[in-house]
Amino acid sequence: LMMHFLFGLRKSKLSDTHLFSDMLWGERTAAFLCDRDDRRGDEAKSVLDNYGRFSKDIAFFYMRTGNGLPARVEFPAWVQKEDMVDKIADMIRAECIIRGNYPDIVMRAHDAAVIRTNEHELFYGMLENFCNVHGIKIHRSAKDFHKRL
């Protein structure tokens, strides 16, 4: 809600992953060259800008790795040129078998990611301020209320 309000985003019920929702586990699409522009204004950066000089050389495919919608897998375009896309897909399948439909390497990254208390408080402070300014009531648990005392 906050991001939609701040950036004037429209809610969309269809993403390109829905186009491939009938895939079976382990199936993948062909590889595509990524050419998206997801900027939120003239000054904003695109996700592809994070890839620096390689921003024009990102490829991707969709792959069913679990019960939800297919996952988008991005990789350098040279991987496609070197005919290594199937190797990536095979590694992801193996990782999903190890971790139960969720790649082990991603699980390890999530385990290592830590949100510090000050970051947590900063985010909730921003959210609370936004809600107060726009008249949105926040419901807190008793546990959360007592933590803040």
pLDDT of the residue at 78: 92
In the block, tokens 């495919």 appear at: 61
What is the rounded average pLDDT of the residues 64-77? 87
C-alpha distance from residue 126 to each of 36, 96, 123, 131, 134 (Å): 29, 36, 5, 9, 12
- Residue 143 or 99, more confident: 99
What is the rounded average pLDDT of the residues 57-77? 88
CA-CA distance, 85 to 59, in Å (whole number)?
Answer: 10
